[in-house]
Amino acid sequence: MGAGGALSPGNSVGQLAVNGDLTLDAGRMIMEIESTGGVAGTDHDYIVVADNANNGNGELVLRVPAPRAGLVPGDLNATLLTAGTLTGTFTPVTVECPQPLNGAVDPATVASFYDFSSSLDYSGDQVTVVGTGTTWTVHDADANLDNAVDVFDLAVLANNYQVVGAQDWTTADYDLSGIVDVFDLATLANNYGWTTGGGDPVPEPATLALLAIGGAALIRRRRR
Ligand SMILES: [Ca+2]
Ligand SMILES: [Ca+2]
Ligand SMILES: [Ca+2]
Task: Give the tens place of pLDDT for each residue, 96-150.
Answer: 887 788 888 888 877 777 766 557 899 999 999 887 655 555 788 999 988 899 9
Which ligand has an atom closest to residue 8 CA? 1
pLDDT at 201: 47
187, containing H or E segment: helix 182-191
For residue 74, count other CB atoms closer than 10 A to its CB: 12
Which ligand has an atom closest to residue 44 CA? 1
Sheet strand arrangement including 6-7: 6-7, 28-32, 59-63, 93-96
Q: How far is the CA of 164 from the centre of ligand 3 (A)?
A: 9
Q: How far is the CA of 115 from the centre of ligand 2 (A)?
A: 21
pLDDT at 209: 55
Q: How far is the CA of 9 from the centre of ligand 2 (A)?
A: 35
Closest by CA to 59, choosing from 93, 31, 13, is: 93
Using CA atoms, how far apart are residues 69 and 61, in angstroms rounded to an integer?
24
* Confidence label for 205 from pLDDT (cuts 50, 70 and 90): very low
Using CA atoms, how far apart are residues 144 and 188, in angstroms rounded to an integer?
12
Which ligand has an atom closest to residue 155 CA? 2
CB burial string 172-198: b at 16+ within 10 A, e below: bbbbeeebbbbebbebbbebbebbeee
Could you tell me the end-to-end alpha-carbon distance of the chain, in angstroms, rounded to an integer?
Answer: 59
Concatenated DSSP letters of 141-177: T-TT-SSB-SHHHHHHHHHHTT-BSS--GGGT-TT-S
Using CA atoms, how far apart are residues 100 and 106, in angstroms rounded to an integer?
7
Which ligand has an atom closest to residue 186 CA? 3
> What is the pTM for the complete model shown?
0.71
Q: How far is the CA of 160 from the centre of ligand 3 (A)?
A: 10
* Confidence label for 208 from pLDDT (cuts 50, 70 and 90): low
Which ligand has an atom closest to residue 105 CA? 2
- Average pLDDT over all residues of the chain: 83
**Residue 154 vs residues 39, 125, 140, 172: alpha-carbon distances, Å:** 36, 49, 13, 9
Q: Is 50 exceeded by the pLDDT of residue 50?
A: yes
Beta strands in 33-131 (DSSP E): 46-54, 59-63, 77-87, 93-96, 120-121, 126-130
**What are the residues facing 49 on neighbouring strands?**
18, 83
Using CA atoms, how far apart are residues 48 and 82, in angstroms rounded to an integer?
5
Which ligand has an atom closest to residue 47 CA? 1
Report every protein residue that has its C-beta within 5 angstroms of ion ligand 3: 173, 175, 177, 184
